[in-house]
C-alpha cells in the first residue's frame, strides 16, 4: 500500500521521460470522508499521476496533539491507496512535506482551499511551506475549493456530541 519515497524518486525520472505530469498533495487524512474523496478526485484531474504524501503517526501527534491520529498510518495509507484517484501513497515523518516536494518536484502541488488567505485563493505561504518549494522550481500550486461542512474536525465534534 505504501510506496517508499526512494521508489517514487526513481519512478519520477521514468515519468518525466514519458512526459507525464505528476500531482502531489499531502496531509493527515485521519478520518477519510466525502470531502477528502472529492478533493483527491479534483487533484488527480490536474495530471497523469496523483501522489499523496501522508503524515506519519508521530508527525500527526506533533502537529495535532497526543489524541491524534485516530486512525493509524497503515490504515490511513490503505484507505487512500484504495481510492481510484490515488496512484501512490508515501509516508513522511517531518512536520511538513517540503522534503517530499524537493525530491519529487511535481509539476503540480495541491492543497485544499482551507489554506487560502484571500478571495483569490492564493496560498498563505507562511502556512504552506511546501508551496514555497514548488514555486521555487516553477511548479504550479493549486488550492482546490474547500468542501464546507466536510472536515475531520467537524466529524470528530459530531461524533463526540452524539455519543456523550
CB 8 within 8 A of CB 102: no
User: What is the value of pTM for the model shown?
Assistant: 0.89
pLDDT tens, N- to C-terminus, the chain (164 residues): 699 999 999 999 999 999 999 999 999 999 898 889 999 999 999 999 999 999 999 999 999 999 999 999 999 999 999 999 999 999 999 999 999 999 999 999 999 876 654 444 455 565 689 999 999 999 999 998 866 666 777 877 878 888 88
**Cβ-Cβ contacts under 8 Å for 135 (sequence gap 6 or more):** 141
- The torsion angles phi and psi of 36, rounded to 5 degrees, stand at -65, -45
Domains belonging to the chain, first-starting first, are: 5-162 (3.40.50.620)
Residue 140: strand pairing partners:
108
Amino acid at each position: 500500500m505504501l510506496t517508499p519515497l526512494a521508489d517514487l524518486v526513481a519512478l519520477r525520472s521514468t515519468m518525466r521521460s514519458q512526459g507525464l505530469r505528476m500531482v502531489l498533495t499531502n496531509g493527515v487524512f485521519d478520518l477519510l470522508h466525502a470531502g477528502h474523496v472529492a478533493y483527491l478526485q479534483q487533484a488527480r484531474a490536474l495530471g497523469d499521476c496523483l501522489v499523496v504524501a501522508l503524515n506519519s503517526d508521530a508527525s500527526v501527534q506533533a502537529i495535532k496533539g497526543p489524541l491524534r491520529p485516530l486512525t493509524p498510518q497503515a490504515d490511513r495509507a490503505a484507505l487512500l491507496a484504495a481510492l481510484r484517484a490515488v496512484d501512490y501513497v508515501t509516508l513522511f515523518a517531518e512536520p511538513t512535506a517540503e522534503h517530499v516536494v524537493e525530491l519529487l518536484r511535481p509539476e503540480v502541488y495541491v492543497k485544499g482551499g482551507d489554506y487560502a488567505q484571500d478571495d483569490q485563493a492564493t496560498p498563505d505561504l507562511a502556512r504552506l511551506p511546501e508551496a514555497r518549494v514548488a514555486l521555487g522550481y516553477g511548479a504550479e500550486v493549486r488550492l482546490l475549493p474547500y468542501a464546507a461542512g466536510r472536515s475531520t474536525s467537524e466529524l470528530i465534534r459530531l461524533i463526540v456530541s452524539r455519543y456523550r
